[in-house]
């Protein structure tokens, strides 16, 4: 609960130290409800009195849900809340020693009497009744547990596809962490599914209760509103507004972005055994992201090795790369010189990527191209894809002053590919490694050249 920040207008040690806002379902500390402006306190006192008299109370005691009014202590210019009717049933008044659990359960039930909560239940039930996949829709039914004397009264209950009972619980207030954990356990044991539904969900200002549901539900949360009811009416099925987080790796850091869209219940993944219901698999995406980041580090380490100056063989560094790539399931030469043409192939592709000869003693890109054409015809397909992917066209044309490359060599290999003859057939021995190192060409590399 919020700390008491100033002497304020509330008396010290008030009997009623919290009030339930009957409109929104929020439970407020009493000092916050009264505020620190005396004039506003007086106006609030009048509002509460009028509301109670006209049968539209504003605040109630969160435990017994009896409306409250504000009593003014004229001399001290301070206030306190009092039950509109005192019939001795409120534990605040009788000073009964109730367990924390019992008080929480009373508050939880009390908050359900708010206008917002009642409207939410209606929206959920109305949407469910439109959906042919749901049956037996009931508002606040008794759900009898298998254990003796165990029962719950979910806000709305319905049966999904004739077999899975689903309890919908509306979450408006911030104080019910333990209720949430305890309810989850109950429905799990009962073979049912519990779905929490919010009136609003603001990730930027995520509150503790919200967080607890969100992170236990694969970073997906559901909101119902007048808008989702309209969408449900249009589509004749239950539509929920889904809020979720998607991960990505940004400069080595795992970061999350927020997303939101209306989703039909039928498109959600339902996991009874973990009590999770979600649209986007955030945990799965996170694992994939981390695996990708691992790949990124391997790729970067290989590139760093290959671009080192001078390019002398470093036994230890290469063997460490070999172990990592082999473990990752990528065919990798034990020694760079072990397989004929491997070193030249890597030099060729890095030359295209860097836009300058890597490993080759040639003066520029087009000279490397001529050499590859003469000596390593099987590398031309991957080389050409790299030139395109890294937009080397202008550079190679500028270097090709004699036009020998574009007028003779390019035409020759294109004609060979078109004729499907074997002269320039791609060397496929390193496709796995090349696809891993140069994901920009991985999609095209495996295709037949044209
Ligand atoms: Zn009370």
What is the Å distance from ligand 1's center to 52 Cα?
A: 15
Contacts of 9 (CB under 8 A, 6+ apart): 31, 34, 35, 36, 37, 38, 41, 77, 78, 79
- Domain shared by 77 and 136, yes or no: no
Contacts of 263 (CB under 8 A, 6+ apart): 239, 240, 241, 242, 279
What is the Å distance from ligand 1's center to 185 Cα?
A: 29
What is the Å distance from ligand 1's center to 83 Cα?
A: 6
286 occurs within a structural domain = no
What is the Å distance from ligand 1's center to 94 Cα?
A: 9
3 occurs within a structural domain = no
Calpha distance 163→308 (Å, rounded): 63
pLDDT in tens, the chain (450 residues): 445 555 689 998 888 999 999 998 888 999 999 998 899 999 999 999 999 999 999 999 999 999 999 999 888 889 999 999 888 778 877 666 777 778 888 888 888 889 999 999 999 999 999 999 999 999 999 998 888 888 888 999 999 999 999 999 998 865 566 677 778 889 999 999 999 998 888 776 555 566 778 888 999 999 999 999 999 999 999 999 999 999 988 877 888 999 999 999 999 999 999 999 999 999 999 999 888 888 988 999 999 999 998 888 899 999 999 999 999 899 999 998 888 999 999 999 999 999 999 988 888 999 999 999 999 999 999 999 999 999 999 999 999 999 999 999 999 999 999 998 899 999 999 999 999 999 999 999 999 998
What is the Å distance from ligand 1's center to 187 Cα?
A: 30
Exposed e or buried b for every residue in 76-94, given b needs 16+ CB within 10 A? Answer: eebbbbbbbeeeeebebbe
Residue 147 DSSP code: S
Residue 430 DSSP code: T
Q: Coil, helix or strand for 137? A: strand
- Domain shared by 120 and 268, yes or no: yes
Burial of 349 (C-beta count, 10 Å sphere; 0-12/13-18/19+): buried
For the chain, the domain total comes to 3
What is the Å distance from ligand 1's center to 107 Cα?
A: 10
What is the Å distance from ligand 1's center to 196 Cα?
A: 27
- Domain shared by 440 and 391, yes or no: yes
What is the Å distance from ligand 1's center to 59 Cα?
A: 11
What is the Å distance from ligand 1's center to 169 Cα?
A: 24
What is the Å distance from ligand 1's center to 432 Cα?
A: 71
Q: Which of 168, 172, 210, 209 shows the shortest CA–CA distance to 27?
A: 172
Q: What is the pLDDT of residue 162?
A: 96
What is the Å distance from ligand 1's center to 90 Cα?
A: 4
- Domain shared by 136 and 245, yes or no: yes
Going from the C-alpha of 313 to that of each of 107, 308, 389, the distances in angstroms are: 72, 10, 29
What is the Å distance from ligand 1's center to 124 Cα?
A: 29
What is the Å distance from ligand 1's center to 28 Cα?
A: 14
Q: Angle CA(253)–CA(258)–CA(260) in degrees, nearest 5?
A: 155
What is the Å distance from ligand 1's center to 353 Cα?
A: 74
- Domain shared by 157 and 41, yes or no: no
8 occurs within a structural domain = no
What is the Å distance from ligand 1's center to 337 Cα?
A: 84
145 occurs within a structural domain = yes
What is the Å distance from ligand 1's center to 70 Cα?
A: 14
* CB-based contact 222:197 (threshold 8 Å): yes
What is the Å distance from ligand 1's center to 291 Cα?
A: 55
What is the Å distance from ligand 1's center to 18 Cα?
A: 10
Last residue of a domain, one of 56, 76, 109: 109
Last residue of a domain, one of 109, 125, 156: 109
What DSSP string describes 21-89? ETTT--EEEHHHHH-S-HHHHHHHHHHHHHHHHTT--SEE-TTT--BEEEEEETTTTEEEEEESS--S-
7 occurs within a structural domain = no
Calpha distance 299→303 (Å, rounded): 6
- Domain shared by 156 and 297, yes or no: no
What is the Å distance from ligand 1's center to 145 Cα?
A: 29
What is the Å distance from ligand 1's center to 410 Cα?
A: 88
Q: Coil, helix or strand for 264? A: strand
Last residue of a domain, one of 60, 75, 109: 109
Q: What is the pLDDT of residue 204?
A: 65
Q: Which two tokens stand for residue 436?
A: 């891993």
- Domain shared by 131 and 204, yes or no: yes
Length of the chain: 450
Q: What is the pLDDT of residue 7?
A: 62
What is the Å distance from ligand 1's center to 176 Cα?
A: 18
What is the Å distance from ligand 1's center to 247 Cα?
A: 45
429 occurs within a structural domain = yes
- Domain shared by 337 and 272, yes or no: no
1 occurs within a structural domain = no
What is the Å distance from ligand 1's center to 46 Cα?
A: 20
Structural domain of 332: 292-445
- Domain shared by 266 and 227, yes or no: yes
What is the Å distance from ligand 1's center to 64 Cα?
A: 4
What is the Å distance from ligand 1's center to 88 Cα?
A: 9
What is the Å distance from ligand 1's center to 21 Cα?
A: 13
What is the Å distance from ligand 1's center to 190 Cα?
A: 33
4 occurs within a structural domain = no
- Domain shared by 192 and 258, yes or no: yes
What is the Å distance from ligand 1's center to 209 Cα?
A: 24
CA neighbours within 13 Å on the CB side: how many for 406?
A: 11
Q: Coil, helix or strand for 221? A: strand
Give the CATH number of the domain where residue 246 resides.
3.40.1350
What is the Å distance from ligand 1's center to 63 Cα?
A: 5
- Domain shared by 297 and 429, yes or no: yes
- Domain shared by 39 and 159, yes or no: no
């Amino acid at each position: 609960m919020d700390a008491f920040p100033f002497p304020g207008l509330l008396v010290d040690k008030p009997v009623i130290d919290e009030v339930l806002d009957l409109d929104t379902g929020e439970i407020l500390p009493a000092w916050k409800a009264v505020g620190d402006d005396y004039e506003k306190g007086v106006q609030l006192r009048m509002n509460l009195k009028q509301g109670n008299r006209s049968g539209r109370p504003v605040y109630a005691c969160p435990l017994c849900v009896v409306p409250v009014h504000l009593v003014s202590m004229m001399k001290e210019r301070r206030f306190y809340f009092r039950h509109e009717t005192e019939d001795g049933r409120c534990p605040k008044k009788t000073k009964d020693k109730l367990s924390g659990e019992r008080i929480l359960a009373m508050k939880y039930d009390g908050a359900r009497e708010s206008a917002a909560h009642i409207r939410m239940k209606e929206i959920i039930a109305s949407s469910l009744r439109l959906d042919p996949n749901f049956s037996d829709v009931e508002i606040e039914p008794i759900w009898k547990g298998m254990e003796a004397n165990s029962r719950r009264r979910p806000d709305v209950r319905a049966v999904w596809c004739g077999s899975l009972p689903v309890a919908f619980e509306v979450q408006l207030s911030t104080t019910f962490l333990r209720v949430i954990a305890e309810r989850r356990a109950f429905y799990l044991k009962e073979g049912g599914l519990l779905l929490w539904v919010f009136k609003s969900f603001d990730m930027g200002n995520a509150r503790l209760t919200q967080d607890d549901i969100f992170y236990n539900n694969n970073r997906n949360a559901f909101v119902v509103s007048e808008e989702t009811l309209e969408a449900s009416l249009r589509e004749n099925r239950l539509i929920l507004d889904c809020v979720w987080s998607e991960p990505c790796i940004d400069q080595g850091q795992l970061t999350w972005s927020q997303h939101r869209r209306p989703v039909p219940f039928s498109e959600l993944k339902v996991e009874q055994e973990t009590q999770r219901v979600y649209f986007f698999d955030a945990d799965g995406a996170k694992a994939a992201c981390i695996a990708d980041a691992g790949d990124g580090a391997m790729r970067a380490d290989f590139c760093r090795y290959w671009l080192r100056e001078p390019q002398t063989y470093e036994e230890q560094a290469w063997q460490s790369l070999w172990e990592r790539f082999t473990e990752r399931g990528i065919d990798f030469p034990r020694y760079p010189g072990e397989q004929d043409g491997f070193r030249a192939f890597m030099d060729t592709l890095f030359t295209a990527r860097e836009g300058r000869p890597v490993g080759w003693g040639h003066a520029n890109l087009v000279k490397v191209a001529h050499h590859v054409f003469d000596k390593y015809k099987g590398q031309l397909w991957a080389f050409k894809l790299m030139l395109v992917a890294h937009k080397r066209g202008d550079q190679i044309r500028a270097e090709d002053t004699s036009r020998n490359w574009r007028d003779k060599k390019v035409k020759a290999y294109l004609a060979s590919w078109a004729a499907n003859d074997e002269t320039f057939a791609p060397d496929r021995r390193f496709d796995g490694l090349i696809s891993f190192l140069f994901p920009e060409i991985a999609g095209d590399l495996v295709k037949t050249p044209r």
